[in-house]
Structure 1
Amino acid sequence: MDQFIKTEEQFELISKINDLKPVFRHREPELDQLGSFPFADFQDLKNIDYPTLTLPKEYGGQGLGLYEYILAQEAISEGSGATGLSIGWHNGIVLEYAENNHWEQDAADWLLKEIANGAIINSAATENNAGSPTRGALPRTTVIRDGKDLVINGEKTFTSASPVLDYIIVTCTNEIGIVEMIVVPKDSPGVSILETWDMLSMRGTASHTLILENVRVSGNHILKALPATKTEAKGWMLHIPACYLGIAAAARKYAVDFAASYIPTSLGKPIAETPNIKHIIGEMELELSIARHMLYGTVERYEQAEDKTTLQESLDITKIAVTNGAIKIVDLAMKIVGSRALSQSNPMHRYYLNVRAGLYNPPMEDMIKSKLASAAIDAAKKDEN
């Protein structure tokens, strides 16, 4: 990872996170439990002011960009995947605002000041049995006007970091069928968290169900109305493959350390010196290098692009390729460690489970392949004419 650190500012940022990685790794077994969440990790990240990483400087933040954010997300996730993915949503949403300035100004002003003062945010868009928002599902969660207030009713699933959120950005359908993003303070009357998150993967994200029952908020809590067609390219969503790459890096480190130190009596030397294990390690190194070059190359092109919407295909492909590469790296690491990797006391079983959650974070692989296939078929038809 060091070769991708380009500035002194980036070096200092990653150094702070590297100091925390062993601590996160030591705590990570606690996140195998139902109802767990990395509270202490979040406090450590607050202590280094990480939740203001992408907050614009005019609001009291550090004002760093996509490259620093992705570097940091990979590093955090090498310590704890659940911690990395959970905090990633917060900083990513803030970065999207910093890039696009796409919120109502009054709402943005007060929410960003809250973040400067320590508030943690995430969005809640997915609904049970309604389909994914990335596939065009409209919210069944509703908002109606009542004088100067808004009244919200509905349920949202996959509300990551729910135990520590101060504000939740909820997608709602209003009286005339327009989808609006509304900021809901988690301590509002009628807001509750139903602890439904029992996944084997990424259990520590505490992505529980959000219940909204006649929740009343001020009319100035509307961040924006969503357009009928999405035009914004979301470079910040690369925090997803960065997270799974961090998990893969942790698995790779454990496997290489194990191979270099494990000396079977029958062999009389570390298994890392055998041709087969060397070959697997080399394959892991190649996969990790390819994934990092692709990820950070896409980040650089995104930051340099004048029209970022032209990078949407690159963002989609990078997520799929890097996530699949991360899964392959972990699978290779499992082969090196052997059957003991499935032990409850061995961190490899957690890496194996957690990295597979990347298959179900957006964008989905089937959607991207379908888009690519349609484009290829359309191009072939044009060539025939």
Structure 2
Amino acid sequence: MTTAAKPTSVAHVIRSDEEAIAAARQLAARFAVEASVRDRERRLPAAELDEFSATGLWAITVPKAYGGAGVSYVTVAEVIKIISAADPSLGQIPQNHLGVLDILLQTATEEQKRHYFSKVLEGYRFGNAFSEAKSKHAGTFDTRIRFDGDEAVINGEKFYCTGALFAHIVPVVGLDEAGNAQIAFVERHAPGLTIVDNWDGFGQRTTASGNAVFFDVRVPRSQVIPAHLAFDQPTANGPISQIIQAAVDTGIALGALEETKRHARQARPWIDSQQDHGWQDPFSLAAIGDLEWRVHGTEAILEKAGRAIDRALAQPSEESVAEASVVVAQAKVLSAETSLLAASKLFELAGTRSVLGKHNLDRHWRNARTHTLHDPARWKYHLIGNYLLNGVKPARHAWN
């Protein structure tokens, strides 16, 4: 697959939270139609992504001062949730794009902000080249960004590069000579950059989250921002990255719940129920009721997390950022549990026929199991408890 060097058309500019949510609902209805086919055939969603970014939804967090809508993070989470309920691969792909926009806002020069926010409003998509499969852990980087006069030279190999294959610009994280994390904005077809479509996970199959290899890639120094500043000081960048992950999982849970209700109505009644239809089974009714409140409870805490981020952005401080991290962690834990539960209950309540390959309903569980592995929930429990019991603020990084 080859992505054009620039958008095929200028994107629409969304002006309000309400317009963003309405656009997401319209898109989701169209994306849902062939979501199962895309998953089954691993058909990469190039056309769908062009449509997605052309609506202006990829630019909704651009601040009003730079021509964007500057929507709330309650709305951002709602948009990602709506899209993910239809197709969570499409919901996941903008995650790093949106995270980078916040890092730009926090750390870039005024000239860089004007330049890149303008690009995004036109419909340019950022991919990502952040994580590395061979480094010690998720927060360490072997990739290097070396400054050479007015240029920066990038060398390294990345993995889990969701969105890079479909991007117009690929932001890459590397360490400079002082060991500080920098982000270089590399044109998708820059000499020395190779994107490898080798993602073969059993879930989130169409995110193309494969490798990105940088070999002596050169960019002007003006295309590099000091990413470390987003975490050296209290900013909401970590919670922003995490709430989008939670929104994807909440969307998976919603999609699985709707499939459960549809297929459970078609299930046969159990022999001992003395009912004529599966939808009369009292135990199925109770299970559906239980699942419904859990999913909607997850939506409620996701909204609460969005409000906490909005407060941290309005009044950044050690305390407001820590509170945002903790509430987002709660949303992350609950959304992970609920998506896995809903995807599993789907088969229990729909019956044996629901496992037939023609339905491809296992994609919901595969997507939930794959996406919820982005960071371990066990550490979220620890983060929440340590803050509530001991007042220990979460470490500031992209996973908190």
Give the TM-score of the pair, scaled to structure 2. Answer: 0.83
Secondary structure of the 1:345 match is coil
Residue 240 of structure 2 is matched in structure 1 by 236
Q: Residue 319 of structure 1: SS of its match in structure 2?
A: helix
Which of 189, 192, 198 is the matching residue for 1:187? Answer: 189
Per-residue CA distance 1:75-131 (angstroms, 9 max, x = gap):
011110100011233234324545xx3223332222222112211013322112214
Q: Say yes or no: does 1:320 pair with 2:333.
A: yes
Equivalent residue, structure 2, for 1:59: 66
Task: Give the C-alpha shift of residue 268 in structure 1.
Answer: 6.8
Q: Is the 8 A contact 1:194 1:208 kept in 2?
A: yes
Number of equivalent positions: 366
The worse-fitting range, judged by mean Cα deviation, of 318-327 and 349-358 is 318-327
- The answer as to 2:92 corresponding to 1:80 is no
Matched, 1:130 2:130: no
| One-letter amino acid of the counterpart of residue 169, structure 1 | P
Partner residue of 2:251 out of 246, 255, 275: 246
Map 1:201-220 → 2, pairs under 5 A: 201-220=203-222
CA deviations on 1:314-361 (whole Å, 9 max, x unpaired) are: 222221122212211222222112233333321421101001123222
Q: 1:252 to 1:290 in 2, by over 3 A?
A: same
Cα distance, 1:377 vs structure 2: 8.1
Distance 1:270 1:13, change over 3 A: farther
Query: Of 100, 111, 119, which residue of structure 1 is paired with 2:116?
Result: 111
Within 1, Cα distance between the matches of 2:284 and 2:179?
Answer: 59
Shift of 1:155: 0.5
Q: CA deviation at 1:201?
A: 1.0
Q: Of the candidates 179, 187, 191, which is equivalent to residue 177 of structure 1?
A: 179
How big is the shift at 1:287? 0.8
* Distance in 2 separating the partners of 1:299 and 1:253: 24
| Structure 1: segments with no counterpart, 5+ residues | 1-7, 380-385
Q: 1:366 aligns with which of 373, 378, 386?
A: 378
**Matched residue type, 1:73:** I
Which amino acid is the alignment partner of residue 258 of structure 2? K
State the partner residue of 1:353.
Answer: 366
Equivalent pair of 1:192/1:210 in contact (CA under 8 Å): yes
Counterpart of 1:123 in 2: which secondary structure? coil
Whole-Å separation in 1 of the counterparts to 2:388 and 2:120 = 44
**CA distance in 1: counterparts of 2:235 and 2:388, whole angstroms:** 24
Counterpart secondary structure, 1:199: coil
More helix by share: 1
Question: Sequence identity of aligned pairs in percent?
Answer: 19
**8 Å CA contact 1:20, 1:79 repeated in 2:** no
Find the residue that maps to 2:153 and give its secondary structure: strand
Distance 2:97 2:278 in 1: 42
Separation in structure 2 between the aligned mates of residue 215 and residue 89 of structure 1, nearest angstrom: 21
Assess, with a 3 A threshold, how the Cα gap between structure 1 residues 240 and 152 changes in structure 2: closer, same or farther.
same
Amino acid at match of 2:62: L
Cross-structure match for 1:331: 344
Q: What residue ranges of structure 2 are gaps of 5+ in the alignment? A: 1-14, 392-400
Partners of 2:40 and 2:109 in 1: CA distance: 40
Maintained 8 Å contact 2:204/2:371: no
Distance 1:359 1:225, change over 3 A: closer
Partner of 1:26: 33
- C-alpha distance in 2 between matches for 1:230 and 1:197: 34
Match of 1:41 among 41, 48, 51: 48
Letter matched to residue 19 of structure 1: Q
Partner residue, 2:3: none
User: Over aligned residues, Cα RMSD in angstroms?
Assistant: 2.6
User: 2:17·2:72 contact (CA, 8 Å) conserved in 1?
Assistant: no
Q: Normalized against structure 1, the TM-score is what?
A: 0.86
Give the counterpart letter for 2:205 in structure 1. R
Is the contact made by 2:145 and 2:174 (CA closer than 8 Å) also made in structure 1?
Answer: yes
What does residue range 160-175 of structure 1 map to in structure 2 within 5 Å? 160-175=162-177
